[in-house]
Amino acid sequence: MKKLVILGSTGSIGRQTLDVVRRFPAKFKVAGLAAGNNVELLRSQVAEFRPAYYSSLASLEVSGTKRLSPEEMAVAEGADIVVVAMSGRAGLGPTLAALRAGKPVALANKETLVMAGELVMREAKRDGALRRWTANTRPSGSAWKRTRRPCGGSS
């Protein structure tokens, strides 16, 4: 079972990630949730998924869950994959923190790469996180050959 930290859980990508967790509860567990100011949705997500950690820009206290910054959550024990779906430059710090801690990052934030793509890629390669992640997610052997198609190609 993979434990996810979802940074930007109340946005579109974060909500879709939580839908995947709902569909595959034996494969995924939520370790942490971070949101901006959508307190009510974050509160309901915390109640449903019971993460160990949460973060919010707004004033929010949740009993039984530890409040951390997004950077702290990205490196927290128990986080197997860090989903960075925070908008703008807010995603850069947690992305770099996770990569430096050797955690795989699922980046859904183009601004992070626009601002610091070279640095992010260097950090991902430095610890081998990029190689581990692609090796673990890419189909192997004949399955890989069957699924590879040029952009715009049909089956």
pLDDT in tens, 104-127: 888 887 777 667 667 677 777 776
Residue 43's H or E segment, with its range, is: helix 39-49
Superfamily of domain 2-138: NAD(P)-binding Rossmann-like Domain (3.40.50.720)
DSSP string, 12-42: HHHHHHHHHHHH-TTTEEEEEEEESS-HHHH
Per-residue confidence (pLDDT) for residue 6, from 0 to 100: 95
Task: Say what percent of the chain tops pLDDT 90.
Answer: 39
* Rounded Cα distance, 74 and 60, in Å: 20
Q: Which residue has the tokens 């980046």?
A: 107
Q: Show me where the domains of the chain are located.
A: 2-138
Q: Could you tell me if 45 and 11 are in contact, meaning their C-beta atoms sit under 8 angstroms apart?
A: no
Per-residue confidence (pLDDT) for residue 130, from 0 to 100: 54
Per-residue confidence (pLDDT) for residue 113, from 0 to 100: 63
Q: Is the pLDDT of residue 154 over 80?
A: no
* Rounded Cα distance, 108 and 126, in Å: 21
- Where in 10-132 does DSSP place strands (E)? 28-35, 53-56, 66-67, 81-84, 105-107
Per-residue confidence (pLDDT) for residue 5, from 0 to 100: 96
Q: Could you tell me if 94 and 70 are in contact, meaning their C-beta atoms sit under 8 angstroms apart?
A: yes
Sign of the dihedral through C-alpha 19, 22, 26, 30? positive
At position 149, the amino acid (one-letter code) is R
141: tokens are 């052997």
Q: Could you tell me if 111 and 91 are in contact, meaning their C-beta atoms sit under 8 angstroms apart?
A: yes
* Rounded Cα distance, 14 and 3, in Å: 15
Q: What is the mean pLDDT of residues 60-72?
A: 83
Per-residue confidence (pLDDT) for residue 143, from 0 to 100: 45
Q: What is the mean pLDDT of residues 128-139?
A: 52
Q: Is the pLDDT of residue 147 over 50?
A: no
